[in-house]
Amino acid sequence: MKIFVDTADLDEIRELASWGIVDGVTTNPTLVARSGRSFKEIIDEIFDIVDGPISLEVVSEKAEDMVKEAESLVSKISEKHRKNIAIKIPINPEGLKAVKVLSKKGIQTNVTLIFSANQALLAAKAGATFVSPFIGRLDDIGQEGMQIVEEIMEMFINYDIETEVIVASIRHPIHVIDAARIGADIATIPPGIIRKMVKHSLTDVGIEKFLKDWKKVKK
């Protein structure tokens, strides 16, 4: 399973990429706004740090405007990085229209705010490169978010659909394990959750013991 980092924090992206575990990045306007830096400055650095799919979101509401905005975003990226850009499009009728057009233009799309397997199927039919089911938000309202990931994966496998599934809105490390067990293509994970994944109290105790024992060894 590929791991994307869900942030626009350049320091976090750079640090986690240095671990050798980051395959891509997902951003959205909220994450970019939190960074306090200009959009152009942020995306240029992200593309330099990570050689993998980078999702950038449009904010237009009409299909024609989404397409124009997507093309504008692509034009802002240096030619060597354009293969990695994926345009985040919301799942609604206008979004599907935009995905169809962008797909024909060879522009990757990440259809976002997926909350049902039906939505994912329609996005894939329209030509989406990725679909992003938001499991944490479903859990928040009392539904089992991971269930729709299971449904989507089953459908896509049944029909050899090439659209990749990005498990999004991850709240804790168990979500990551569940996504991997189901066979999801990608999990996009906030930096704080990735840091929790690498930690275990027994590991810390073991390292401390090894270091103490090493100090007892005669040099």
Which CATH number belongs to the domain containing residue 156 in this structure? 3.20.20.70
Give pLDDT tens digits for 17-67: 999 999 999 988 777 777 777 788 888 899 999 999 999 999 999 999 999
Give pLDDT tens digits for 97-137: 999 999 999 999 999 999 999 999 999 999 999 999 999 99
Distance CA(127)–CA(108), nearest Å, equals 9
Distance CA(161)–CA(179), nearest Å, equals 18
Given a cut of 80, whether residue 168 has pLDDT beyond it is yes
Closest to 152 in 3D by CA, of 137, 141, 139, 167: 167
Report pTM.
Answer: 0.94
Active site residues: 88
Tokens linked to 91: 């799942």
**Residue 41's pLDDT is what?**
84
Given a cut of 80, whether residue 161 has pLDDT beyond it is yes
- Domain extent for 46: 2-216
Q: At what angle do helices 145-158 and 173-182 cross, to 10 degrees?
A: 20
- Quote the number of domains for the chain: 1
140: enclosing H helix or E strand:
helix 135-140
What are the angstrom distances between the C-alpha of 77 and each of 69, 84, 112?
13, 10, 21
Given a cut of 70, whether residue 218 has pLDDT beyond it is no
158: enclosing H helix or E strand:
helix 145-158
Distance CA(54)–CA(86), nearest Å, equals 6
Tokens linked to 103: 């797909």
What are the angstrom distances between the C-alpha of 109 and each of 47, 72, 191, 218?
17, 14, 23, 60
Give pLDDT tens digits for 72-99: 999 989 899 999 999 999 999 999 999 9
**Residue 35's pLDDT is what?**
74
